[in-house]
Every structure is written in C-alpha cells, then in structure tokens.
Structure 1
C-alpha cells in the first residue's frame, strides 16, 4: 500500500464517524422562540419518538388576553381602544393594553362543539337566558418585569371606548 491511498475500510470508518456526528447533532433541539418549558415529563433513559411531543414551550413574546364581553357591551368597542387588565395574581398592579380584535361569531350551544372552529360560550345560567359572550382579544402594551404572566390565569378587563383616552394617561388614574 502506498502512502496517500485510501482503502475501502478507511472510507467506511470515516462515513461511520460522519453519521455518528450527524446523529449527535440531532440529539440537540433548539427552541424557535424565547420562552418557558413546561410539562416536561422525561426521565433519564426516556426515549424521544419522532413527531410525539415531549414538552410544552410557552412563548413569552406572544401573550394576549381573551376577554368575553356581553353582546350588549361591545357596540362601541373598537380595535385600538385602551384596555386596563387586572390579573387575579397581581390585583393591585393593573396593566395597560389595547383591544386587538372583536370576535365575529360564536358557536350556538345547542350541543355542538365549536362548529366551524368558532368558540362555544355557554349563554345560560340556571333558567335565565344570558346575553351571549363575544370574545375580545387584548394585547398588553408593556408588562413590568416583576409580573410573571401565566397562560390560563384569570383577569378582569376594562375597555375604555370612544378614543378619548391617550396612552399618556396613567393606568391608575383611569381606575379612579
């Protein structure tokens, strides 16, 4: 054998090493967004299976509030209206937001479950027929760093309609 020649066994060994390096790269998963990992139920020795979720990733840059207003309260509500959000977790720390959108429909609650992907909102309480609840999406302007938002938390939402309040008005003065 001359120096500089490559034997078939060398090529096989090199290909095996390259495949092992590629397999190792596939063991690392990088999040597509900034966020928090939750529902991680893996233990040492757990086997990950392709296309099967192993954890949940909560995107910290995509929080919003889904508020459900009675239909008789939304006639003057518009996208862009100022909203004051009070989280049950932080009752003394109201946060300013803006109405992003108002829902265009809800599913009737006649036993169907979300017909045409519209949210089902129960309009009855005991024997009294209540006004329908229409979803209103609110985006928060700036959340203080010491407030930890959690998906599914309860919030109260006050929407100021009519466009008479500007962003310069302090949140606390709006609540008095």
Structure 2
C-alpha cells in the first residue's frame, strides 16, 4: 500500500508479529506537504463565512509569528451530529444549545521550516477577513 502523500509516521500501534484487525489503525501518518486548521465556529457565526476568504492565523506556541490562510470548506453537519454521545432530547428537555460547525482553514505559502514547526494538534487563534 502506498501513502496518499509524502509524510512521516508519527505513531505506531503495532509490533512485528502482531495480528492486525479490520478497522484498527496501525500507524499515525502526518502529511509533510501542507497544514490546516479545523476551527469550530458557533452556528451564529457562520452565516457570512465563505470559501476562499482570507484568514489571519496566530499559533499559541509561536507568539511572534502570524500566518496567512484561507477558508477551504465548511462541514455539512455540526460537531454534535457524529459525536460519540449525541445529545438526546427524548426526555422533553428542549433547552437550546448553540451548535458548532467545523470549518477547515488551509495555511498559505508555508516554508519547510513552518511545516516542521506546525505540529498537529497545536492551538490557534484565527481572524477571518470578510470580503464583501
């Protein structure tokens, strides 16, 4: 089997001689060509977020560095839709809870050093610049 992109194996969950089961991840693979953020916006904030809009990105781990990016895509469902324990209103509890919608943001013009610095799972602060 061939990897879908250049990258590195960041975690292994199997040892030589161990039996593999269907559907169980054996390795953690990190793409070395690009980086992105999944930002979970409140449903009340997504009305004007459009694909292609410019984004300013600040990563908590690096205080003096600002990155540029763009909105790549919005999820077609809220985060609660596929959660392990989805909210259940069968008890008649209809308290309105603001949902979160995942928005994927891609970084622009990263150097090899930037890609090396930006580890998966880091926290970031983003500002979307409205274009209209």
With structure 1 as the length reference, what TM-score do the two structures score? 0.55
CA distance in 1, matches of 2:11, 2:46: 37
1:150 equivalent in alignment to 2:119: yes
Q: Compute the displacement of 1:152 (Å).
A: 1.5
Q: Compute the displacement of 1:114 (Å).
A: 5.7
In the TM superposition, what whole-angstrom CA distance separates every residue of 1:121-167 from its partner, at most 9, and x where no partner exists? 9xxxxxx966322211101112233232222211111100125xxxx
Contact 1:82 1:98 survives alignment (8 Å): yes
Structure whose residues are more often strand by fraction: 2
User: How many residues are aligned here?
Assistant: 121
Equivalent position to 2:76, from 90, 94, 104: 104
Q: Compute the displacement of 1:66 (Å).
A: 0.3
Q: Point out which structure has higher relative CO (alpha carbons under 8 A, 6+ apart).
A: 2
CA distance in 1, matches of 2:73, 2:41: 12
What's the C-alpha RMSD, in Å, of the aligned pairs? 3.3
Structure whose residues are more often helix by fraction: 1
Larger radius of gyration: 1
With structure 2 as the length reference, what TM-score do the two structures score? 0.70
